[in-house]
């Protein structure tokens, strides 16, 4: 299962990356991702908090799978065992022009628990969309201020 949300934002990747990875400031603007280990380690486990709409807050401990500052963050985790549930979360920044960037949030999951997570997956999909719009408001509002 894969869920994606993307948005085009006025601005270069560097300031967007700062908004996305400053875990200590996520609570100020993010409706979905509520916390993230700061500073991000190049490898190892991180703490990730997510608050899907109309669901309880999730406290996850994925590991950094790929980290390319300014371009990509990819986290992978499991619940109990990989066969039960393996999840991944990523964000990719792609420059479209000198002053425009595409931001793609992606969440994936596999495992035997997946068929029982329908309402939560719907909430995560909505959360990713809300995250994109909130990032756009934050980044473009900061750039104009």
Per run of 10 residues, the mean pLDDT along the chain (length 145 residues) is: 97 93 90 91 94 92 96 95 94 96 97 94 96 95 63
Per-residue pLDDT at 143 = 55
Alpha-carbon span 60 to 40, nearest angstrom: 15
CATH of the domain at 79: 3.30.530.20
Can you tell me the distance from the alpha carbon of 29 to that of 26, in angstroms, rounded to the nearest whole number? Answer: 6
**In which domain, by residue range, is 84 found?**
2-144
pLDDT at 144: 55
Cα atoms in the 13 Å half-sphere on the side-chain side of 130: 17
b (16+ CB within 10 A) / e for 133-143: ebbbebbeeee
Tally of domains in the chain: 1
66 contacts 74 by C-beta, under 8 angstroms:
yes
């Amino acid at each position: 299962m894969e869920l994606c949300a993307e948005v085009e934002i006025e601005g270069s990747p560097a300031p967007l990356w700062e908004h996305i990875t400053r875990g200590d400031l996520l609570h100020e603007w993010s409706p979905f991702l509520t916390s993230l280990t700061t500073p991000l380690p190049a490898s190892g486990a991180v703490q990730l908090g997510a608050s899907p709409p109309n669901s309880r807050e999730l406290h996850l401990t994925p590991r950094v799978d790929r980290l390319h500052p300014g371009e990509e963050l990819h986290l992978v985790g499991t619940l109990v065992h990989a066969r039960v549930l393996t999840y991944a979360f990523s964000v990719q920044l792609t420059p479209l022009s000198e002053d425009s960037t595409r931001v793609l949030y992606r969440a994936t999951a596999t495992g035997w628990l997946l068929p029982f997570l329908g309402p939560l997956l719907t909430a995560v999909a909505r959360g990713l969309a809300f995250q994109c719009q909130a990032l756009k408001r934050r980044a473009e509002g900061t750039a104009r201020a």
